[in-house]
Amino acid sequence: MTSANTMNSNSSRRQKTPLEHILRVALYICLLGMAAVYLMPFLVMFLTSLKDVEEIRSGTLLSLPGSLNFDAWVKAWGGACTGSSCNGIAPFFINSFQIVIPAVLISTIIGALNGYVISMWKFKGSDIFFGALLIGCFIPFQVILLPMARTLGWLGIANTTTGLVFVHVVYGVAFTTLFFRNFYQGIPSDLIKAARLDGAGFFTIFRRIILPISTPIIVVTIIWQFTQIWNDFLFGVAFSGFDTQPVTVALNNLVNTSFGGKEYNVDMAAAILAALPTLLVYVLAGKYFVRGLTAGAVKG
Amino acid sequence: MTIKASSLESKATSAQAKSFSLADLIPKLVMAPTIVVTLICMYGYMIWTAVLSMTNSRMLPSYDFVGLSQYERLFNNDRWIVALTNLGIFGGLFIFICLFLGVMLAIFLDQKIRNEGAIRTIYLYPMAISFIVTGTAWKWLLNPTNGLEKMMVDWGFESFTFDWLVNPDKVVYCLVIAAVWQASGFVMALFLAGLRGVDGDLIKAANLDGANIFTTYRRIILPSLKPVFFSAVVILSHIAIKSFDLVAALTNGGPGYSSDLPANFMYAHTFTRSQIGLGSASAMVMLGCVLAILIPYLYSELRGERHD
Amino acid sequence: MKKFAFALTAAALTVGAANSYAGEVEVLHWWTSGGEAASINVLKGLMVEEGHTWKDFAVAGGAGESAMTVLKSRAISGNPPASAQIKGPTIQEWGSLGFLTNLDAVAAQGEWDVVLPQVVSDVMKYEGHYVAAPVNVHRVNWMWANPEVFRKSGAELPTSWDQFLVEAEKIKAAGYTPLAHGGQAWQDATLFEAIALEKGVNFYNKAFIAHSDQTLRSQDMIDVFNTFKQVRKYVDVGFSGRDWNVATSMVINGEAAMQIMGDWAKGEFTAANKKAGIDYVCLPAPGTSDSFTFNIDSLAMFKVEGKDNQAAQQDLARLILEPEFQETFNLNKGSIPARLNMPREKFDTCAHASMDSFLASSTTGNLTPSMAHGMSTSSMVQGAIYDVVTNFFNDDSMTAEQAVDKLARAVKASL
């Protein structure tokens, strides 16, 4: 099934030569070295969050904190000021979840249906439309802020959670459609043809045949969308109301304060906290992510 | 393979159309909301921006037409030229290095590595964090007075210098470093997935022919990953063009405006400098550049797919 | 603990003051740091006492850049906040688009024309009507110095830019960074305008308010750019992109000798428990002791629906000008009250100097709006000047003559 298996089973049957041993050691050094590089920024953030302000000023970036000190974390979670209220970033997590969950679900469902139509129920113009959708991915989001604001105003959902969900769905659908379309291209069409000859309709086929085999790509899409929407700042700041600001906006307020001494430890703790949900998703579901990609998202 | 089948399928659909017009309508109805929204919120807004680029809109949109003079102003603007050049350098290097690192790490990781899962997660995690979060850490690392340079000097490498962040000629490479850090792990995952999907028979055949491992990769495996390259390039160019947070968090365009990118230029002029007309013109040029490169690529790739 | 007590009193007062109307005000601002949040909370508390609801919409970042984006998207969606932190000519721009509401009634009642100096009230008006309320006046042309560093390097506090260059050389030789600076466009512009101001308020006004092409291309302007480039030599290597408060802490720590920065820098010294006149000194930027470049923060009031909300908005405008808020806010922020004749006891020596200079310069005509802080000109021209100034500061190969030419052309293109 996989290339690695085939090749390695070949080589493992033989006795390893000294050259292969050296190569193998070099391989590990290379991989671990790169891992260290990738980890560095996170490590700097984490170490800084554990130091007190004086240690940050005097020490180097990677010096270890003198003692384990989680004050900064406590403050970032529940006591730092993000405006006239000083309740940390905790209250904003709820806002973020209220935006992210519906937006991810809706854009995933729409993407699945679109992908299904484009790959299996082609109609005149559906391919052209797919191309148009793909090109749409490349509009810089800064361009659409003003016209979108006007549109949301007309729809009466300006500065509400509903409005933000709408925006995220609109600009997320291009990618979700792309993912599902590529996945469904790989499904043998005999399966569908047979079902249609049996008289199964559009939705029956989707529910009975397509959905059950879509799990890998659903996982990929959800991870992708969750990350994108959770990390969004631009839409979150421009289209939220005073009580619907997502956590990225709160984090920005916390980090970008211009007056009074900068508490880098609190900034860093807040940054890690704000990134925790996406980090968790990657750590816990990362395995399924690569599997899902293998199952077809990357074809075509 | 799949294409042949689906074209058969569409023939079947059209044959049935006469008798089941409602059933035939369903796919169109399902797509309709997306089509409408895409037409309005992507293409409609694009046209609106194109219209604004020909007006002298300042703080808010107005419809006082001035022809193409905003474009003339744009190309007389030194800062815009810098931003556009930077996008070329940044985009090219970013995509190339990400692809190179991604392929390399994927091949390395595909050699039955112990703890593959953990290493893979480490490579992948930067994609999960936005630059609002990591910007400050990168700023510190790259800053000569308290980052890597200081660390190396403290460790005894007195002559080590790394001052790209404060050097107007080199700062764009700092952007590349941080962007590669963020996206290369994702590219690695794409290629790793691709490698795992390569047909084992092909490789066996190659091995029987006596090809060594390097030849196998170069001649057989990598060419079969062409679709993965396609996806990666689409996603990477998407990221490159939209690199806004990166600049905002890392350099804010500085030193001077030497690390400005078009997205930042456009944002600054549209929102903080009350030059919506000029900002819109820059957005159109940006879009034009992207399409000029992307459409032929998309076209050839999607067409090519149809033929296999 | 304190906050809890405050909440209790506030709650009690709300019940007591539950009068005929209770409206809501949504306030868009970028006062997000600890000290600022405390100051804005005073205003919030006053509003709550009046029975109103305060909806806080804080967006930090880049001197209000993000907040301006939000404001535009809110305005264009037909849902602007009741009040937003905007300043300078931007107030007139919003006024001309018909977004702002009339505050004349409150202003008449509170005698704003009497308690506010003319320069301040002019900025708050659109076509002769009040549309915004000022919260403070910042002096921008300050220099903050660490006397210890000066003593150790045998240098004297400079009173002209020529002397600055001489003293800076001594400080550099003694192993200190002469000028703490952060390489961000607005900081470069702050430094630049301080150098330009030495050429006199007349020159300054012609260049940055009237944008006279002749002045922009004059020999004086070339001199200003030359001095600016020479000052660049006395900045340390890692200045690029540095936040201003990090630069201030270099002066506090004794790494650097001076910083040219507005009076908000004082908050940093206060936070580090440093005493004015002992641990640090504040004095006008070299050669500008007779002049005062001002930067006024203000809250503009947008047209809103609903009688109660409109009433709340008018109350907000009234409360901003009341001495209680003016004093607390400005004690926290390092600035001076926009309102004249306030009790001065609680303010420190730097603020006293600022108040004296404000009064004196307003009679001599040496009171002038800050270009770097968006008080003197539209955001378009300001942006154009920023670009030339910051690029010149960072580009070793550009000559002052080239810079002057670029400046004149860029300003013309953006008018």
Whether the pLDDT of residue C74 is over 60: the answer is: yes
**CA A237 – CA C78 distance, rounded (Å):** 17
Residue A76 is assigned to a structural domain of this protein: no
> A1 touching B, CB under 8 A?
yes
The Cα of C230 is separated from the nearest Cα of chain B by a number of Å equal to 17
Determine whether the interchain pair B195/A2 forms a contact, defined as Cβ–Cβ distance below 8 Å: yes
Structure tokens at B113: 């590595």
pLDDT of residue C14: 40
pLDDT band of residue A194 (cuts 50, 70, 90) is confident
**CA C296 – CA C320 distance, rounded (Å):** 13
pLDDT band of residue C6 (cuts 50, 70, 90) is very low
pLDDT band of residue C375 (cuts 50, 70, 90) is very high
pLDDT of residue B1: 36
Interface of A with B in 185-244 (CB under 8 A): 185-190, 192-193, 196, 201-203, 227, 231-234
Interface of C with A in 12-41 (CB under 8 A): 26, 29, 31-37, 40-41
pLDDT of residue B307: 40
As for how many domains chain A has, the answer is 2
Domain limits at C237?
142-293+372-414
Whether the pLDDT of residue C3 is over 60: the answer is: no
* Average pLDDT for A145-149: 91
The Cα of B241 is separated from the nearest Cα of chain A by a number of Å equal to 7
**CA C384 – CA C111 distance, rounded (Å):** 38
Determine whether the interchain pair C237/B58 forms a contact, defined as Cβ–Cβ distance below 8 Å: no
- Distant-in-sequence, close-in-space partners of A77: CB < 8 Å, separation ≥ 6: A88, A89, A90, A269, A270, A273
3-state SS, residue C367? strand
Interface of C with A in 180-219 (CB under 8 A): none
User: Do residues A122 and A268 share a domain?
Assistant: yes
pLDDT of residue A11: 45
**CA C64 – CA B219 distance, rounded (Å):** 55
**CA A245 – CA A239 distance, rounded (Å):** 9
> What angle, rounded to 10 degrees, do the helices at B171-196 and B78-109 form?
30
Whether the pLDDT of residue B306 is over 90: the answer is: no
Instruction: End-to-end CA distance of chain B: give it in Å, rounded.
Output: 7
User: Do residues A230 and A149 share a domain?
Assistant: yes
Query: Which of A259, A264, A266, A267 has the most C C-beta neighbours within 10 Å, making it the best mutation to test the interface with C?
Result: A259
Q: State the fold for domain B73-307.
A: MetI-like fold (1.10.3720)
Q: What are phi and psi of C298, to 5 degrees?
A: -150, 160
pLDDT of residue C260: 96
> pLDDT digits over A181-192, tens only?
888 887 887 888
Contacts C72 to B, Cβ<8 Å: 59-60, 271
DSSP state letters, chain B: -HHHHHHHHHHHHHHHHTT-HHHHHHHHHHHHHHHHHHIIIIIIHHHHHHHHTTB---SS----B-TTHHHHHHHT-HHHHHHHHHHHHHHHHHHHHHHHHHHHHHHHHTTT-TTHHHHHHHHHGGGGS-HHHHHHHHHHHH-TTTSHHHHHHHTT-TT----GGG-TTTHHHHHHHHHHHHHHHHHHHHHHHHHHTS-HHHHHHHHHTT--HHHIIIIIIHHHTHHHHHHHHHHHHHHHHT--HHHHHHTTT-STTTT--HHHHHHIIIIIS--HHHHHHHHHHHHHHHHHHHHHHHHHHHHHHHH-
Residue A166 is assigned to a structural domain of this protein: yes
**CA A74 – CA A269 distance, rounded (Å):** 9
Instruction: End-to-end CA distance of chain A: give it in Å, rounded.
Output: 20
User: Do residues C287 and C309 share a domain?
Assistant: no
Report which residue type is found at A139.
Answer: I
**CA C15 – CA B217 distance, rounded (Å):** 77
Query: Which of A53, A61, A75, A84 has the most C C-beta neighbours within 10 Å, making it the best mutation to test the interface with C?
Result: A84
User: Do residues C328 and C386 share a domain?
Assistant: no
Structure tokens at B94: 């970013």
C-alpha distances in Å from residue C264, one per residue of C133, C140, C295: 20, 9, 11
Give me the interface pTM, i.e. the ipTM.
0.84
Determine whether the interchain pair A256/C333 forms a contact, defined as Cβ–Cβ distance below 8 Å: no
pLDDT of residue C19: 47
Strand C24-29, strand C83-85: pairing: parallel
- Residue whose pair of structure tokens reads 């540095």 in the numeric block: C242
Contacts B135 to C, Cβ<8 Å: none
User: Do residues C283 and C304 share a domain?
Assistant: no
Percent of chain A with pLDDT over 90: 31
Residue C44 is assigned to a structural domain of this protein: yes
Determine whether the interchain pair B125/A281 forms a contact, defined as Cβ–Cβ distance below 8 Å: no
* Average pLDDT for C59-71: 81
User: Do residues C245 and C393 share a domain?
Assistant: yes
Give the burial class of C222: count Cβ atoms within 10 A of its Cβ; 0-12 exposed, 13-18 middle, 19 or more buried.
middle
3-state SS, residue A81? coil
**CA B146 – CA B125 distance, rounded (Å):** 25
User: Do residues A131 and A268 share a domain?
Assistant: yes
Task: Find the CB nearest B126 among A38, A271, A291.
Answer: A38
Determine whether the interchain pair C390/B256 forms a contact, defined as Cβ–Cβ distance below 8 Å: yes
> A153 touching B, CB under 8 A?
no
User: Do residues C399 and C258 share a domain?
Assistant: yes
C-alpha distances in Å from residue A200, one per residue of A120, A209, A210: 14, 10, 12
The Cα of B256 is separated from the nearest Cα of chain A by a number of Å equal to 20
**CA B299 – CA B258 distance, rounded (Å):** 34
The Cα of B169 is separated from the nearest Cα of chain A by a number of Å equal to 24
User: Do residues C16 and C42 share a domain?
Assistant: yes
Neighbours of chain C (3+ CB pairs under 8 A): A, B
CB–CB contacts below 8 A, A to B: 311
> pLDDT digits over B190-227, tens only?
899 888 888 777 777 777 777 777 888 888 888 888 87
3-state SS, residue A216? helix
pLDDT of residue C264: 86
Whether the pLDDT of residue C11 is over 70: the answer is: no
Whether the pLDDT of residue A19 is over 50: the answer is: yes
Residue A172 is assigned to a structural domain of this protein: yes
Domain limits at A252?
90-297
Determine whether the interchain pair B34/A173 forms a contact, defined as Cβ–Cβ distance below 8 Å: yes
> What angle, rounded to 10 degrees, do the helices at A90-120 and A247-255 form?
130
pTM for the full model? 0.87
The DSSP output letter for A201 is: -
Q: What are phi and psi of B296, to 5 degrees?
A: -60, -40
Whether the pLDDT of residue C162 is over 90: the answer is: yes
Look at C57-71, C240-254, C284-298 and tell me which has the smallest mean pLDDT: C57-71
Residue C367 is assigned to a structural domain of this protein: no
CATH code of residue C389: 3.40.190.10
User: Do residues A221 and A270 share a domain?
Assistant: yes
Neighbours of chain A (3+ CB pairs under 8 A): B, C
pLDDT band of residue A251 (cuts 50, 70, 90) is confident
* Average pLDDT for C16-37: 73
- Closest residue by Cα to residue B177 from B145, B139, B144, B150: B139
Q: Give the count of alpha carbons within 13 A of B231, CB side only.
A: 25
User: Do residues C267 and C327 share a domain?
Assistant: no
> B227 touching C, CB under 8 A?
no
- Within a 10 A sphere around the Cβ of C40, how many other Cβ atoms? 25
Percent of chain C with pLDDT over 90: 63
Residue A78 is assigned to a structural domain of this protein: no
The CATH 1.10.3720.10 domain(s) of chain B lie at 73-307
The DSSP output letter for C212 is: -
> pLDDT digits over A73-117, tens only?
998 888 877 777 778 888 899 999 999 999 999 999 999 999 999
Determine whether the interchain pair B274/C379 forms a contact, defined as Cβ–Cβ distance below 8 Å: yes
pLDDT of residue C62: 63
Averaged pLDDT of chain C:
89
Determine whether the interchain pair C236/B79 forms a contact, defined as Cβ–Cβ distance below 8 Å: no
DSSP state letters, A36-66: HHHHHHHHHHHHHHHS-HHHHHHS-TTPPPS
pLDDT of residue B212: 78
pLDDT band of residue B133 (cuts 50, 70, 90) is confident
- What residue of C is the nearest CA neighbor of A85? C37
Interface of A with B in 249-268 (CB under 8 A): 251-252, 255, 264, 267-268
Contacts B242 to A, Cβ<8 Å: 140-141
User: Do residues A162 and A61 share a domain?
Assistant: no
pLDDT band of residue C5 (cuts 50, 70, 90) is very low
> B76 touching A, CB under 8 A?
no
> pLDDT digits over C255-272, tens only?
999 999 998 888 788 878
Alpha helix locations (H) across C322-415?
323-333, 349-364, 379-394, 400-414
Whether residue A151 contacts residue A113, with contact meaning beta carbons closer than 8 Å, is answered with no
As for how many domains chain C has, the answer is 2
Determine whether the interchain pair C183/B273 forms a contact, defined as Cβ–Cβ distance below 8 Å: no
- The helices-and-strands tally (H runs, E runs) of chain A is 14, 0
The Cα of A270 is separated from the nearest Cα of chain C by a number of Å equal to 15
The Cα of A224 is separated from the nearest Cα of chain C by a number of Å equal to 26
Determine whether the interchain pair A257/C246 forms a contact, defined as Cβ–Cβ distance below 8 Å: no
pLDDT band of residue B40 (cuts 50, 70, 90) is very high
Task: Give how far the C-alpha of residue C336 lies from the chain's centroid of Cα atoms, to the nearest Å.
Answer: 11
User: Do residues A279 and A182 share a domain?
Assistant: yes
- Within a 10 A sphere around the Cβ of B60, how many other Cβ atoms? 15
From its phi and psi, is residue C237 left (phi > 0), alpha (psi between -120 and 50) or beta? alpha
- What residue of C is the nearest CA neighbor of B258? C391
Strand C281-284, strand C142-145: pairing: antiparallel
Percent of chain B with pLDDT over 70: 91
Look at B81-85, B247-251, C8-12, C391-395 and tell me which has the smallest mean pLDDT: C8-12
User: Do residues C408 and C274 share a domain?
Assistant: yes
The DSSP output letter for C145 is: E
Structure tokens at C175: 């192993």
User: Do residues C47 and C153 share a domain?
Assistant: no
Cis bond upstream, residue B255 (ω within 30): yes
3-state SS, residue C206? helix
pLDDT band of residue A242 (cuts 50, 70, 90) is confident
Whether residue C94 contacts residue C300, with contact meaning beta carbons closer than 8 Å, is answered with yes
C-alpha distances in Å from residue B274, one per residue of A146, A249, B74, C415: 13, 23, 15, 12
pLDDT of residue B153: 81
Residue A75 is assigned to a structural domain of this protein: no
pLDDT of residue B238: 81
Contacts C65 to B, Cβ<8 Å: 268, 271-272
> A81 touching C, CB under 8 A?
yes
Instruction: End-to-end CA distance of chain C: give it in Å, rounded.
Output: 53
> B168 touching C, CB under 8 A?
yes
Residue C49 is assigned to a structural domain of this protein: yes
Task: Find the CB nearest A153 among C37, C58, C77.
Answer: C77
Whether residue A174 contacts residue A134, with contact meaning beta carbons closer than 8 Å, is answered with yes
Interface of C with B in 51-90 (CB under 8 A): 62, 65, 68-69, 72, 75-76
Whether residue A169 contacts residue A110, with contact meaning beta carbons closer than 8 Å, is answered with yes
Determine whether the interchain pair A143/B42 forms a contact, defined as Cβ–Cβ distance below 8 Å: no
> pLDDT digits over C302-318, tens only?
999 989 999 999 999 99
The Cα of A253 is separated from the nearest Cα of chain C by a number of Å equal to 5
> pLDDT digits over B1-23, tens only?
333 444 444 444 444 444 456 77
pLDDT band of residue C213 (cuts 50, 70, 90) is very high
Task: Find the CB nearest A31 among B42, B109, B154.
Answer: B109
User: Do residues C237 and C376 share a domain?
Assistant: yes
The Cα of C288 is separated from the nearest Cα of chain B by a number of Å equal to 26
Residue A99 is assigned to a structural domain of this protein: yes
User: Do residues A211 and A254 share a domain?
Assistant: yes
Averaged pLDDT of chain B:
83
What dihedral do alpha carbons C104, C106, C112, C118 form, nearest 10°?
A: -30
Whether residue C57 contacts residue C26, with contact meaning beta carbons closer than 8 Å, is answered with yes
User: Do residues A142 and A58 share a domain?
Assistant: no
Determine whether the interchain pair B302/A131 forms a contact, defined as Cβ–Cβ distance below 8 Å: yes
Q: What angle do CA A189, A190, A195 make, to 5 degrees?
A: 100
Task: Find the CB nearest A2 among B127, B200, B216.
Answer: B200
